[in-house]
Amino acid sequence: MCSSDLTPRVGLTQYQSAIDPRDGQRFADDFIGRYIDRIKINPGDFKLTSSKLILNKTYFINLSQTYNGITVWGSKLGIKATPEGKVFLYGGQIFTGIDLNSTPTFPLESARLNAYSGIEYNPATDLIQYDNLYVLPLIFDDRIDYYLGYL
């Protein structure tokens, strides 16, 4: 995989959507579908993380990228639009060209046991807060390697 797989994008546009921006996911899917040639990822590979109307002037719609339903760590796509549904700015960091077996090698409990080995872990006093599966992009100068990991 080459460094072009990491795709930071910022774009100005004047796209008028027929979808009400209060329906953040549908609105974003409509926009991404229209600009798929620029974004290069299908609308179904994004999930809504937040959608807010600020000062009754601008919708800030934020999404994260998924791969086979698994969130891609560090990915983001933001869309800014008027309350009338006119997108004027979008941008973010997305990863194209992910090719990864999305079935974990270890079930979560086995991964936890492996993580605990070699450290002083006490289940009575130590708390594990995160155990979600993610696609982890490791970015090098000449490539990006992708792995699955529980975080």
Whole-number Å distance between alpha carbons of 15 and 82: 11
H or E element, residue 51: strand 46-54
Query: What is the reported pLDDT for 5?
Result: 58
Per-residue pLDDT tens over the stretch 36-59:
888 888 899 999 999 999 999 999
Of the candidates 90, 58, 88, the residue with the CA atom closest to the CA atom of residue 77: 90
Which phi and psi angles does 58 have, rounded to 5°? -140, 130
Q: Give the type of residue at 72.
A: V
Q: What average pLDDT does this structure show over 115-135?
A: 78
**pTM exceeding 0.75:** yes
Q: What average pLDDT does this structure show over 67-90?
A: 96
Quote the percentage of the chain above a pLDDT of 90: 58
Q: Give the type of residue at 49.
A: T
